[in-house]
Chain A
């Protein structure tokens, strides 16, 4: 009799532990968004990727449609070659363009796909031609400073 009572309590304990693991996997981590479906790879070249990392989201209209798979340096064109894994259920025209954007002021960087108007869709192995680099704050500041220096009004107002 003692044994069967223990059985219930141990079973309950294991059940609580399993629920905790499930909670961690499903609610706290990204198992639900883990895509087991096949995806197709598309490459793109950027002049500067800023802080983009492998695993970053590829979004279109704010919805995740893929992930950045690989980032490498292309020694011939001196550009960054980014390999994207796009979900198969989403097809984009061949002349779609890519932008590196930031979510929030200090958030993570992600790729934004702006769909084009081409009849043909992107297929595995294709290259997206039109890309826009990440915004580098230092470049912005220096551009701003140069444009300020060129203005004649600021010069004349100085006493």
Chain B
């Protein structure tokens, strides 16, 4: 009885360690193949098209509405302290440092990560990956690496678009609707936002999130059970795990970048 339980515990621990090891091995294999993948840039470009262009609409619309809400809420709080002119600074800092990279990565995980996992999982289920191996084509290099780089290129651009559109949304609500002074809006923003410390670190964040979200999506698809249920649960797990790791990574990155 007890030995059975201990055995099960040992098996699951070993299984978990093996999964982590496989994930790490796949990650370094992907990194090692980046040269070969970037050389065939046509494949990467098609993935940027699939992951980036098709996510542009959802990113733009959500960025606009996040900017609207930031403008309204920020004005409501700031005018209590008589400093509604700082609205531009509040909107820009919160978007550039946190909301832009994080919300864009969460949307990207739902919009693009899920479809990556489903695509790779179905390739696995339909034995297309095995067929590639039979033809001595490495599926990691031919299938996974272009998608990996496509995601890494697409997400920072999407996050930048999100932040920029969000700032415009904050401008529309704050200046055009509520009537905060336009000059103060922009000058407070420019006085408080630093190119390297705020914008640069935001871009670094979104690159890290791009690596994390794309890699988790590819890994979950690659190790999915080759059944309809397997692909379904892999897709769910891809979104859940990548969203959680984006939030966790964001805390670590913020602590590293901004607190010191």
Contact = CB atoms under 8 A, between A and B. Distances in A.
Interface of A: 3, 6-7, 9-10, 12-14, 16-21, 23-25, 27-34, 104-106, 108
B175 interface: no
Contacts of A18: 157
Interface stretch (B43-51, B138-146, B212-220): B43-51
Contacts of A19: 164
B163 A9 contact: no
A33 B45 CA distance: 36
A29 B160 contact: no
B194 interface: yes
B168 to A, nearest CB: 9
24 contacts: A6-B49, A10-B48, A10-B53, A13-B56, A13-B154, A13-B157, A14-B48, A14-B157, A16-B56, A16-B161, A20-B160, A20-B161, A21-B157, A21-B199, A24-B163, A24-B167, A24-B202, A28-B163, A28-B164, A28-B189, A29-B96, A29-B195, A30-B195, A106-B83
Interface in B120-172: 154, 156-158, 160-161, 163-165, 167
Given A29-B190, A30-B190, A10 B52 contact: yes
A25 B195 contact: yes
A28 B195 CA distance: 9
A28 B194 contact: no
Contacts of A105: 82
A20 B198 CA distance: 15
B35 interface: no
Contacts of B160: 17, 20-21, 24
A29 B191 CA distance: 7
A27 B195 contact: no
A12 B53 CA distance: 9
Contacts of A23: 164, 167
A20 B157 contact: yes
Q: Is the interface of A mostly helix, strand, loop or mixed?
A: helix
B210 to A, nearest CB: 12
A34 B197 CA distance: 13
B81 interface: yes
B176 to A, nearest CB: 16
B195 A3 contact: no
Given A28-B193, A106-B81, 11 more contacts: A13-B48, A16-B56, A16-B161, A17-B156, A20-B164, A21-B203, A24-B164, A27-B167, A28-B163, A28-B199, A106-B83
Most buried by B among A6, A29, A30, A33: A29
A23 B157 CA distance: 12
B27 interface: no
Most buried by B among A28, A30, A32, A108: A28
Contacts of B21: none
Interface string B174-196: 00000000000010011101110
B53 A28 contact: no
B193 A13 contact: no
B31 to A, nearest CB: 23
